[in-house]
Amino acid sequence: MNNAFKGSGVALVTPFNEDLTIDFDALKKLVRYQIDNGTDFLVVQGTTGESPVLSYEEKHAVLKAVQTENEGALKIVYGVGGNNTLQIGEELSSLPGGIDGILSVSPYYSKPSQQGIIDHYKYLASCTSLPIILYNVPGRTGSNISADTTLELAQIENIVAMKEASGDFDQITSIVMNKPDGFGVLSGDDAITMPLITIGVEGVISVVANAFPSKFSQMVHAAINGDIQTARRIHFDILPVTHMLFEEGNPGGVKAALNKQGLLNSYMRQPLAPISDDLRGRIEIETQRLLPK
């Protein structure tokens, strides 16, 4: 099974109303914004979508709303992960239709050994026929998926890609150099996506592209097509706001940029707190600068 998820993927935020119920109208506007501005695939209920604070029913309601607005235009990846292996397997076995792939983060907090990580993913792969994208984000999970572990898991038929957010160029390079044909590597770090593509990474699952889908997609595709001059120019242009969007955590920054564009309110559920007025002001200035004139 080859990786079908390439180019500019977007980890969608979940918009909320003031009472912190899900704002489905804003969610549909956000999906349409992505479709109309060059995004290649959508990721529903990653951490950017505040998945830890949504109920099982809410997650499926978000998925259904995205599917309804998307109408098959873009591939949809659904986030299913955690540190209760058997429970995740049960969820994978009973997913609704219309999902093109799964994004599954390495078990967090438990800090399993590399063998524990391998066994975890082997079990998940046995519970679904859908393609699975592994997700390595040591800063959130407390453990790293080594290059050797990734390469072993890449031999499993329906494990098709790795979203790499370790920030370790040597590790990512080792995966790209030694991976089997058809297995994909995706960036999980917006700020280094362009240079990662130059070493063979096939795309990104992005936070920043929620707010700037056209520019981010242009950068990604220019880099993939070998137009490094164009990719570098856009990379440098959006890098200041990229850093700002993560300055006080995610998705507070990107929701502020989306709010500036009138796409959604910037409410988040606890334990996330609103970003500072100073940061919001700087993000709004950069957002205004980057919008089409």
> What does DSSP assign to residue 72?
T
- Please give the structure tokens belonging to residue 99: 């999902």
- 192, two tokens: 């280094």
> Token digits for 27?
């969610």
Residue 109 designated active-site: no
Task: Quickly count: other Cβ atoms within 10 Å of residue 232's Cβ.
Answer: 16
Q: Give me the catalytic one of 6, 59, 75, 163.
A: 163
CA distance 183 to 103: 14
For the chain, give the number of residues: 293
Active site residue 6: no
The answer to whether 78 and 111 have CB atoms below 8 angstroms apart is no
Residue with tokens 């297995």, as numbered in its chain: 183
Determine which helix (DSSP H) or strand (DSSP E) holds 290, and give its type and residue range. Answer: helix 277-290
Instruction: Count the neighbouring beta carbons within 10 Å of the beta carbon of residue 208.
Output: 28
- Report which residue type is found at 250: N
Catalytic member of 33, 78, 121, 135: 135
Determine phi and psi for 139, rounding to 5 degrees: -65, -25
Question: How many angstroms separate the CA atoms of 172 and 164, rounded?
Answer: 7
- Per the structure block, which two tokens stand in for 56? 């099982």
Spatial distance between the Cα atoms of 134 and 164, rounded to a whole number of angstroms: 8
Residues labelled catalytic: 135, 163
